[in-house]
Structure 1
């Protein structure tokens, strides 16, 4: 992504993390924020050095520019930036960028190679298109809460992480990469990409959880729960999970648990039988596991080549030998927030290794730097600050550092 210029008009999670992913891979991401206010995520709790953990984690490798887009002068500045940008990403509610005069149709005539991604919650049309959107609404509307409950008859449950937001971010980053590749391969123009959280989650669910609705001419039964317990088992000192899909894995698990007689039980000799008798099967497994510790069972299961893992608290994850040995969690020094512990860039490139991620910016930290890079003269920048079109935060940062 080195050399790719991205203007990020997004706030909250989905848009900012999409551009964060590309910034970590080398793109120059300029986060355009409201002067004196910025992204709402900046104000969230769990803070250090007046920076929130969530902002630090989804806005690294970016520069911050505070620009008042509600003024004609601010829009004029943005258009000058857009004329030399590769990508613009925005997650305003449908209709906002059109009212501001910074929609794809407004900017494409200035830059035919521009790739413009519009993110929304429910899409550009339909009865819900103008509604404010948060993750829980998407979980509810897509049926994800029912999937999490395990059955249509059970009380719906939220997944306790903002999966729709995060999933949309990953889909958005992939879509932008595909559009950039298509542009470079063809040598042609950019394009407008539209993506909603609703679409991202339904596509995600259809891969495995909407099987009953795949065959249009087949009747759809009520989704029934497969079991009243899941694949998390209690041991003498904690919890583990065991997964046995094949006959060999099931047989090996029976031996590892010291009950080879289960192998010949007609209820469990086939995958279909194990599914039809799932409650009885899982009850048998659970009845044994409380006899020993998690470590003892994991050693026995691993010795029989049975897939199993401990159930860890978040505080335990960062100390687990597998996480430590692979170097997934890294530490760095942030100039304002101090010592950070974060997950490294997930994809490891051996041919085009990007630089280490840069720390998330303070609000307006790069105002002068960004505009200078785009050809603005010092007196122009001074005038923009004096009129409030460009935020004055950088001057405050410089004063504090002095």
Structure 2
């Protein structure tokens, strides 16, 4: 029996269709949810490659089937035409991490399900302006980063006390006003409120954060003294209180923080002597004490200073160093001590007349040095001689006329 060619063709076509369907079905298990793919395109996210591929830098997906869901989205350098919509955000409610970097789009209220699922939110130079009410809708976030975005709030307290799940918080260069909170959640490990307009004193409650590793309150308008209880921050590795108006001395309890790596107290009004215990901090790599009112003899030796990656102590006019301990080649920016432990006055600057001399040399020969009596003496002598000669002449003339 001769096989019918048409039957063969139909069978071959059916086989190709089945293989294609199976391949498409297998492929669909690795695809992103079609609705989320559409939402990404509406936000201007490139989707030419598989958004769930490890090589895709803007997205991370879970392993759900039959479709994957987005769990992380990073929007970078958004175009002017990008707008956030409620429809797109509702579709992306599986997101746990959302980042806006250089995206000056207009913010909108996140859908409640979307906000409650987020545990990490980053906004850097994006969304134009935020409010504390807008931020605290994300009530379950663990990591909050807002930088170079104005934040309208009566102070950081309303944000930090409303989001009880926070572990790390950065609200920097946000024109944030007010005072520091008097209550803090104990799970905080990272606090950065630098570059704002915060005022008032450092609350002692801040030093109860026993898990705090990083504290940056620099470039604000904080005043008062450093609490003696700072030594309770035993986990602290990085502390910057620079560029404020803090006064008083460095508390001795700071010696208890054995793991401190970065200590920046520069550009304040701190006074008293520089404590010697700082040189016993084995892990210290960055130390900035410049532009304060410290006095006395710097208690550090050369070996301690050389192990530091950064050391700044200049512009403390009453602070000096022992020349027998430290070499002037270190360029510390402070004066050498005299025998009484006081800063030596710097020698007066030498006048540099080289420019005037060079100008004279271009137009005239070098001046001749004259020796002997001055011109005034010669002038007086000549005048007296002339008077004597005149008197003698008149006497002789009178005798001749008689």
TM range (shorter): under 0.3
TM-score of the superposed pair, with normalisation by structure 1: 0.21
The higher relative CO (CA closer than 8 Å, separation ≥ 6) is in 1
Q: Whose Rg is larger?
A: 2
Greater strand percent: which structure?
2
TM-score of the superposed pair, with normalisation by structure 2: 0.21
